[in-house]
Amino acid sequence: MLKFLLSRLLTFLPTFFGVTLISFAFIRALPGDPIIVMAGERGITEERHAELVRQFGFDRPIWEQYLDYLWGVMQGDLGQSFVTKKPVWDEFFALFPATLELSVCAMAFAVLLGLPAGVIAAVNRGKFFDRALMSTALVGYSMPIFWWALLLIIVVSGWLQWTPVSGRISLMFFFPQPTGFMLIDSLISGEKGAFASAVQHLILPTVVLGTIPLAVIARQTRSAMLEVLSEDYIRTARAKGLGPFGINGVHALRNALIPVVTVIGLSVGTLLAGAILTETIFSWPGIGKWMVDSIFRRDYPAVQGGLLLIAVIVMIVNLTVDVVYGFINPRIRKG
Amino acid sequence: MNLIAKAAAAILAGSLVAGAAQAKTLVYCSEGSPEGFDPALYTAGTTFDASSHPVYNQLVEFVTGSTEIQPGLAERWEVSEDGLEYTFHLRQGVKFHANDQFTPTRDFNADDVIFTFERQWKDDNPMHTASGGTWEYFQGMSMPDLLKSIEKVDDYTVKFVLNRPEAPMIANLAMDFASIVSKEYADAMLAAGTPEMLNQAPIGTGPFSFVGYQKDAVIRYAANPDYWKGASPLDSLVFAITPDASVRYQKLKAGECHVMPYPNPADIEAMKADEDIELLQQQGLNVGYLAYSTQVAPFDNPKVRKALNMAMDKQAIIDVVFQGAGEIAKNPIPPTIWSYNDAVEDDAYDPEAAKKMLEEEGVADLSMKIWAMPVQRPYNPNARRMAELIQADFAKVGVTVEIVSYEWGEYLQRSKEVDRDGAVLLGWTGDNGDPDNFLAVLLGCDAVGGSNRAQWCDEEFDALIQKAKVTSDVAERTKLYEEAQVRFKDQAPWATIAHSTVFMPVRPEVEGYKVHPLGGHIFYGVDLAE
């Protein structure tokens, strides 16, 4: 097991350096001089432009800028945002809990509904329930996020008035947020109704962000289950007289889980991408919206730092998924 | 959490729960996050809404809802005969806000004024580099060239000495970058090694004090009880940051906010019909235009430019691109600016006459490029669509148009080239309500190769605006600018296309809100009906 972990960690390092290079190069490869974009229609004189180029250090050779950046990264310093003048690290981790909270809820929503739906569809293969579920999943998978979000806001918040339109918590609550996770902070605050308000605000964004992973997980679970259900050992289990729960829940599902866990791992990327739109629509103060704003403002340190941190997080999740595989399936661990 | 924050939280909780019985909180669904809270570091309106308008004052200020100037932290001022010396007499007894790191020990005085400008101007001012800023607006308004010195006459008198007479100087001092900051606060933060606090926890003299900012989510302010103009009828002000316009509309309908900016043009009709919404509107302080490349044949011929202007169906552009939320522009300045010459007549839409005029000038089979901006602006919500409409109009008079576009930074840069190929769609939003801010910046000879995208240098026009710039008498300046507009129309370096209309949907219980022509969203003087 240790050897397995070490080998995984070794692949981690080159990927990490690759990501620093790509994130550094990506924003510089975009057309558009950040200083000219900043000046806008007002424009800027050539002398002033040259002065700012010096001030931002853009006049130095590109490799020198990269090494400087890399040196900073090694020391945990991602630089300072051009726009807000705050350290990128602080900016990112002030917003990241909001994204993480939303992503975890969306993933929980997708798994808790998607797994049973997939199992039930597989067991009832070809019947009405299976077809209805799989067509719904296809619709869910193809739904544009912004459209789905606005539809839910208009119907659920506007007409039915069941949930608030946007934000993380009602504006009447104003308490310190030591963890940045609104569900936890609202509980700690001890203010009456705060937790309920945080939950209400989470419902629509969770549904919107969780819809695509839900559809993918349901479909993946169904096809993995179908494959497993035709295996010999399932027939044996049936012959032994095991009940449907024993067969489907214990024997089949556990073996069907491997491809499903892969999909869940891959969905983390999808979630972070979906978070950009979801966060913008629901005024959710997370990193998705921050990254987009930073790209438009050509805020080099924020974009390269943000990309790097997101990549590292995705890498850690993938590493965890690999380890989880090992637990579910000993063949991978030893192979 | 500090005391003010606790008090504000109590006020907020009280107001929203008890239906605003005792405390009044106005919630503004703002369109984006401020870049910071030091208005001198930035140029975006969203940042000014959250900083200079609620928290700060300037020496002189715009009357809310107009471009007129009134006394601010300066009670009165004098300008010397030669127009080179401006002496400001400061208001006494004005208090700065306090926060948990700073409590002012003295009132506002001349030191604060001098510090405010020197930190943007002088390299040796410790805050000049410590704030990490580039002071873009101070630079952009050419203040370093303009200022010779700023002198403290006594604690409550400050003298600005200029290198040359400049009539728009007073209007410049009403701008957001000229917001007066506390020298005492800056000194304290520098000593504590946290100069960035000026940008993160602002201290000003304005109607609202800053309470807290939760990044990308909420900004909170409490009314300043000691405000020198009298405390706001509101107890607190909350910005709920809501980037999506459709969502802002839903929040306004649901009563989750009282005021929202920038509605979707497509929602305007529904808002007009909605009983829960009052739709305020005003002409924007902007102009959208098509600038010909006037140093390149055949666009160096004013008659050719005029003929093309006559071929353009501007009403169709207003209907399609602005969806009615705009009006046809005939002058290079919007009607909300003083000296707007209403007697000028626009070139009427007449394709037949245009075609004939082009033939008379010997122009046949003309093909040209039109540049369409890649970004949305109030003065041009959809440049690509606008370019397509113009393309179709010009085709009717035998002119073939190719539409081109570049990344925004490239676009701004390349469009400055003097021998540029093609006419450029662009526009301008006024900074200070002074006609000079449009006419000299966009059409002056000095700006050729820069913000004068028509590359148009006309001696007669330039003489008029240069004279107006050094004349302090407003009536005389008005006459000069009116004449300049006549000359502009005659020479047609641009096709003036549109001024946008600004719509502000507010809840019916909001009282006294005025749409500000300079684009800011200002909540001092606003009340909520019980």
B136 interfaces chain A, CB cutoff of 8 Å: yes
- Contact state of B243 with A43 under an 8 Å Cβ cutoff: no
B17 pLDDT above the threshold of 80? no
Residue partners of B423: CB distance under 8 A and separation at least 6: B290, B291, B292, B293, B299, B368, B369, B370, B371, B495
Amino acid identity of B151? E
CA B369 to chain centre: 30
- Contact state of A172 with B36 under an 8 Å Cβ cutoff: no
B2 pLDDT above the threshold of 60? no
Q: What is the 3-class SS of B381-404, one letter each residue?
A: CCHHHHHHHHHHHHHCCCCEEEEE
DSSP per position, B26-84: EEE--SS--S-S-GGG---HHHHHHTHHHH---SEEEPTTSS-EEESSEEEEEE-TTS-
Average pLDDT on B183-204 reads 95
pLDDT in tens, A217-228: 999 999 988 888
What was the pLDDT predicted at A330? 67
* Parallel, antiparallel or unpaired: strands B423-429 and B367-371: parallel
Residues in A touching B408 (Cβ below 8 Å)? 32, 37
Residues in B touching A43 (Cβ below 8 Å)? 412, 416, 450-451
What CATH architecture applies to the domain A93-332? Orthogonal Bundle (1.10)
Place of tokens 């600016």: B337
- Could you give the dihedral angle defined by the CA atoms of residues B116, B118, B121 and B125, in that order, rounded to the nearest 10 degrees? -120
Report whether B427 contacts B500 (CB < 8 A).
no
For B392-416, b/e burial (b = at least 16 CB within 10 A) is: ebbeebbbebebebbbbbbbbbbbb
CA B252 to chain centre: 25
Amino acid identity of B470? V
B413 interfaces chain A, CB cutoff of 8 Å: yes
B365 interfaces chain A, CB cutoff of 8 Å: no
Q: CB contacts < 8 Å between A and B, how many? A: 147
pLDDT in tens, B65-108: 888 899 999 999 999 989 999 999 999 999 999 999 999 999 99
CA distance A212 to A331: 31
Which of B32, B212, B256 lies at the smallest CB-CB distance from A164? B256
For B226, how many CA atoms within 13 A lie in the half-sphere containing its CB?
Answer: 12
Mutate to test the interface with A, among B46, B216, B438, B452 (most CBs of A within 10 A): B216
pLDDT in tens, B396-447: 999 999 999 988 888 988 999 999 999 999 999 888 889 999 999 999 998 8
For residue A184, the distance in angstroms to the closest alpha carbon of chain B comes to: 17
Phi, psi (5° rounding) for residue B274? Answer: -85, 125
CA distance A222 to B191: 65
> Residue B192's closest CA among B114, B99, B305, B321?
B99
Closest chain A residue to B216 measured between Cα atoms?
A285
**Adjacent-strand bridge partners of B99:** B102
B139 interfaces chain A, CB cutoff of 8 Å: yes
For residue A214, the distance in angstroms to the closest alpha carbon of chain B comes to: 25
What was the pLDDT predicted at A25? 87
Which B residues, 233 through 252, put their C-beta within 8 Å of a C-beta on chain A? 238, 240-244, 246-247, 250-251
CA distance A162 to A159: 8
Q: Domain spanning B22-34+206-277+507-529 has what CATH number? A: 3.40.190.10
Which of A84, A165, A289 lies at the smallest CB-CB distance from B247? A165
Of B223-232, B466-475, B480-489, B506-515, which gets the smallest average pLDDT?
B466-475
> Residue A198's closest CA among A108, A284, A290, A92?
A284
Q: How many residues does chain A have?
A: 335
Closest chain B residue to A290 measured between Cα atoms?
B216
Amino acid identity of A7? S
Report whether B510 contacts B252 (CB < 8 A).
no
B8 pLDDT above the threshold of 70? no
Residue partners of A148: CB distance under 8 A and separation at least 6: A208, A211
What was the pLDDT predicted at A176? 86
Neighbours of B225 (CB within 10 A): 10
B4 interfaces chain A, CB cutoff of 8 Å: no
For residue A304, the distance in angstroms to the closest alpha carbon of chain B comes to: 18
**Eight-state DSSP code of residue B325:** S
Helix, strand, coil % in chain B, rounded to nearest 5: 35, 20, 45
pLDDT in tens, A24-45: 888 888 777 788 877 777 777 7
Reply yes or no: is the peptide bond before residue B435 cis, omega within 30 of 0. Answer: no
- Contact state of A95 with B215 under an 8 Å Cβ cutoff: yes
The better pLDDT of the pair A227, B18 is held by A227
pLDDT in tens, B505-517: 999 999 999 998 8
The dihedral through the CA atoms of A9, A11, A15, A17 has a sign that is positive
Report whether B60 contacts B72 (CB < 8 A).
yes
What was the pLDDT predicted at B7? 44
What was the pLDDT predicted at B22? 57
Q: What is the 3-class SS of A160-182, one letter each residue?
A: CCCCCCCCCCCCCCCCCCCCCCH
Q: Domain spanning B57-204 has what CATH number? A: 3.90.76.10
For residue B180, the distance in angstroms to the closest alpha carbon of chain A comes to: 20
Q: What is the 3-class SS of chain A, one letter each residue?
A: CHHHHHHHHHHHHHHHHHHHHHHHHHHHHCCCCHHHHHHHHHCCCHHHHHHHHHHHCCCCCHHHHHHHHHHHHHCCCCCECCCCCCEHHHHHHHHHHHHHHHHHHHHHHHHHHHHHHHHHHHHCCCCHHHHHHHHHHHHHHHCCHHHHHHHHHHHHHHHCCCCCCCCCCCCCCCCCCCCCCHHHHHHHHCCCCHHHHHHHHHHHHHHHHHHHHHHHHHHHHHHHHHHHHCCHHHHHHHHHCCCHHHHHHHHHHHHHHHHHHHHHHHHHHHHHHHHHHHHHHCCCCCHHHHHHHHHHCCCHHHHHHHHHHHHHHHHHHHHHHHHHHHHHCHHHHHC
B19 interfaces chain A, CB cutoff of 8 Å: no
Report percent pLDDT > 90 for chain B: 78
Residues in A touching B9 (Cβ below 8 Å)? 174-175
Q: Please indicate, yes or no, whether the overall pTM of this predicted structure exceeds 0.90.
A: no
- Contact state of B247 with A283 under an 8 Å Cβ cutoff: yes
B133 interfaces chain A, CB cutoff of 8 Å: yes
pLDDT in tens, A312-325: 888 888 888 777 77
Q: How many residues does chain B have?
A: 530
> End-to-end CA distance of chain B, in Å?
30
Reading across the β-sheet that carries B25-28, which strands appear in turn? B25-28, B236-240, B218-223, B208-214
Report whether B89 contacts B157 (CB < 8 A).
yes
CA distance B61 to B70: 5
* Parallel, antiparallel or unpaired: strands B400-404 and B423-429: unpaired
A153 pLDDT above the threshold of 50? yes
> Residue B401's closest CA among B439, B372, B434, B444?
B372
Amino acid identity of A37? V
Of A277-281, B133-137, B322-326, B415-419, which gets the smallest average pLDDT?
B133-137
Would you call B505 helix, strand, or coil by DSSP? strand
**Exposed (0-12), middle (13-18) or buried (19+): which is A57, by Cβ within 10 Å?**
exposed
Residue A271 Rama label (left phi>0; alpha psi -120 to 50; beta)? alpha
Would you call B25 helix, strand, or coil by DSSP? strand
pLDDT in tens, A64-86: 989 989 999 989 899 889 888 88
> Residue B289's closest CA among B246, B334, B250, B247?
B334
CA distance A42 to A274: 35
pLDDT in tens, A173-218: 888 888 999 999 999 998 889 999 999 999 999 999 999 999 999 9
- Specify the DSSP element, H or E, that contains B352: helix B351-360
Q: What is chain A's mean pLDDT, rounded? A: 86
For B140-155, b/e burial (b = at least 16 CB within 10 A) is: bbebeebbeebeeeee
pLDDT in tens, A249-265: 777 887 788 878 888 88
Report whether B502 contacts B430 (CB < 8 A).
no
Class of domain B286-502: alpha beta
pLDDT level of residue B457 (50, 70, 90 thresholds): very high
pLDDT level of residue A332 (50, 70, 90 thresholds): low
CA-atom Rg of chain B in angstroms:
24
Sketch the domain layout of chain B as residue ranges: 22-34+206-277+507-529, 57-204, 286-502
Of A18-22, A28-32, A171-175, B387-391, which gets the smallest average pLDDT?
A28-32
The CA distances from residue B218 to A73, B72, B232, B420, B473, in Å, are: 31, 29, 20, 45, 45
- Contact state of A38 with B136 under an 8 Å Cβ cutoff: yes
Phi, psi (5° rounding) for residue B442? Answer: -100, -20
> Residue A102's closest CA among A208, A188, A185?
A208
- Contact state of B242 with A166 under an 8 Å Cβ cutoff: yes
CA distance A166 to A170: 9
> Residue B186's closest CA among B205, B203, B173?
B203
